[in-house]
A and B are shown apart, each in its own frame.
Chain A
Amino acid sequence: KNEVEQSPQNLTAQEGEFITINCSYSVGISALHWLQQHPGGGIVSLFMLSSGKKKHGRLIATINIQEKHSSLHITASHPRDSAVYICAVHRNDYKLSFGAGTTVTVRA
């Protein structure tokens, strides 16, 4: 079993809809990251969380350390949000463990 599990695997939404992606992990962590990957490979860091909630534009990330769970929300989704969203956890000094990613498609 992977240390980091994401759901759903794929998600299709209509423009303007609210999107939620979930991440559960089974190991102790020092931080959790949400990453965005566009076709072609480039990965961009969206958030790093160790507690609570962070917001950037239309993106909101939350984490519950006790339940080992995090969510990424996209409000008022737009076709340019279409990408793969990856949850990753920092287990120790340097190593990241990644979820398999959630492919989000937003239709106009």
Chain B
Amino acid sequence: DTGVSQDPRHKITKRGQNVTFRCDPISEHNRLYWYRQTLGQGPEFLTYFQNEAQLEKSRLLSDRFSAERPKGSFSTLEIQRTEQGDSAMYLCASSSDSSGGDWRTQYFGPGTRLTVL
């Protein structure tokens, strides 16, 4: 059973460019979360999917941010017209409702570090 994977691990872009990150959760995990972590801080909640439905989107996510989980498996997070303030680590996590596991235990991916120049 592989863990949560994220791609790319690092992304350097120029201000104004669009970027897209991918998260592959643990197989058959129906819950998927995106977080953002800036240097020296704990992660902050961005958005949550249960299967393919996006159930909450944080106020932190401006209209430049969009996330999808089209088939209830992998998810993408897109940032349009990037700004220097978007520089952060973007973390994905997944968990499962299935019997035998506690949905509250989230498994984190290694993160995508975004640097906007």
Which A residues form the contact surface with B (CB < 8 A)?
A: 4, 30-31, 33, 35, 40-45, 48, 86, 88, 90, 94-101
Residue of A35, A40, A41, A86 with most chain B CB atoms under a 10 A cut-off:
A41
Residue of A35, A43, A44, A96 with most chain B CB atoms under a 10 A cut-off:
A43
The reply to whether B41 and A43 form a contact with Cβ atoms under 8 Å apart is no
CA distance A42 to B5 in the complex (A): 11
Which residues of B, 65-97, contact A by the 8 Å Cβ criterion?
A: 89, 91, 93
Q: Which residue of B lies closest to A50 (CB)?
A: B104
The reply to whether A30 and B43 form a contact with Cβ atoms under 8 Å apart is no
Which B residues form the contact surface with A (CB < 8 A)?
A: 31, 33, 35, 37, 40-45, 48, 50, 55-56, 89, 91, 93, 102-111, 113
Chain B residue numbers with a CB within 8 Å of A40 are 110
Chain A residue numbers with a CB within 8 Å of B31 are 94
Q: Which of B33, B40, B91, B93 contacts A41 (CB 8 A)?
A: B91
Chain A residue numbers with a CB within 8 Å of B109 are 42
Q: Which residue of B lies closest to A84 (CB)?
A: B42
The reply to whether A101 and B42 form a contact with Cβ atoms under 8 Å apart is yes
CA distance A33 to B103 in the complex (A): 13
Chain A residue numbers with a CB within 8 Å of B105 are 33, 45, 48
Chain B residue numbers with a CB within 8 Å of A97 are 45
Q: Which residue of A lies closest to B43 (CB)?
A: A98
Chain B residue numbers with a CB within 8 Å of A99 are 42
Q: Which of A4, A33, A96 contacts B45 (CB 8 A)?
A: A96
Q: Which of A44, A45, A95, A100 contacts B42 (CB 8 A)?
A: A100
The reply to whether B45 and A95 form a contact with Cβ atoms under 8 Å apart is yes
Knowing A40-B110, A41-B113, the reply to whether A98 touches B44 (Cβ < 8 A) is: yes
Chain A residue numbers with a CB within 8 Å of B48 are 94-95
Knowing A30-B104, A41-B110, A41-B111, the reply to whether A94 touches B56 (Cβ < 8 A) is: yes
Chain A residue numbers with a CB within 8 Å of B107 are 45
